[in-house]
Amino acid sequence: MLDIRQDFHVHSNYNDHSAANLTISNVVNHAQKIGLDSLAITEHVNMESSWIEEYLNEIELASQKADIKVIPGFEAKILRDGSINCPKECGQYFLIASFHTLYKEKSVWVNALENAIRNPQVNVIGHLGPEPTFSLERNEIMELGRLISTNNKLVELNAKYHRPPKDWLIIFKECGVQFHLGSDAHSLDDIGRFETIMDLIALVNTS
């Protein structure tokens, strides 16, 4: 059962497009204030990120003072060949792999996703859904679901983008895929807010 007291996709002000007050300490304090019991801080990362050590140290310090479980992590882009755009050491932590580029070719997209799913460093596939220019047939979704399940990846129910699509969730459930919740928060008010995906949560929680 999915638990709305858990948010496994929250950003911070270590990027250039989040709210300025989205500091690590503010994130943790706000999560406690609204009654969360688990929080994953998963900042955008790439090969050029130079702040990783400082970021992890700040999460560790905040975790020591927190009354909730705080998980250090990252969100990294799935590249065209399916590799993940982050330093290798990020794979020691909670790692979300997501598409942030439109590849505009279904075969390229599927190949990249399959490679990301097979990557042992990846824990979660984030905000998963098709690109606007193509769709997937049931058998193709089923193949992805089986691959996700076999490789023990979690699929995120993403509140920012309302993903995955409902028909994908139904098929993924048939394949034994496991899910969790991510607000994809880029402001304090977004943390732990899942109102936009209550329909998806209900679908997953229905036996």
141 touches 108 (CB < 8 A): no
pLDDT at position 28 over 90: yes
pLDDT tens profile 90-124: 999 999 999 999 999 999 999 999 999 999 999 99
pLDDT tens profile 107-166: 999 999 999 999 999 999 999 999 999 999 999 999 999 999 999 999 999 999 999 999
For residue 22, what is the DSSP state?
-
**Percent of the chain surpassing pLDDT 90:** 97
The pTM score is 0.97
What does the domain layout of the chain look like in residue ranges? 6-205
User: Which of the pair, 81 or 16, is modelled with greater confidence?
Assistant: 81
Both tokens of 11, joined, read 């950003």
Q: What is the mean pLDDT of residues 160-181?
A: 98
Q: How confident is the model at residue 207 (pLDDT cuts 50, 70, 90)?
A: confident
**CATH number 3.40.50.720 is the correct assignment for the domain at 6-205:** no
Q: What is the mean pLDDT of residues 54-65?
A: 96
Both tokens of 140, joined, read 């193709």
Q: How far apart are CA 121 and CA 78, in angstroms?
A: 13
pLDDT for residue 129: 98
pLDDT for residue 20: 87
pLDDT at position 38 over 90: yes
pLDDT for residue 41: 98
Both tokens of 127, joined, read 């905000």
Helix (H) or strand (E) holding 203, with range, is helix 198-205
Helix (H) or strand (E) holding 174, with range, is helix 166-174
**Percent of the chain surpassing pLDDT 70:** 100
Residue 164, preceding bond cis, omega within 30 degrees? yes
Q: How far apart are CA 116 and CA 84, in angstroms?
A: 7
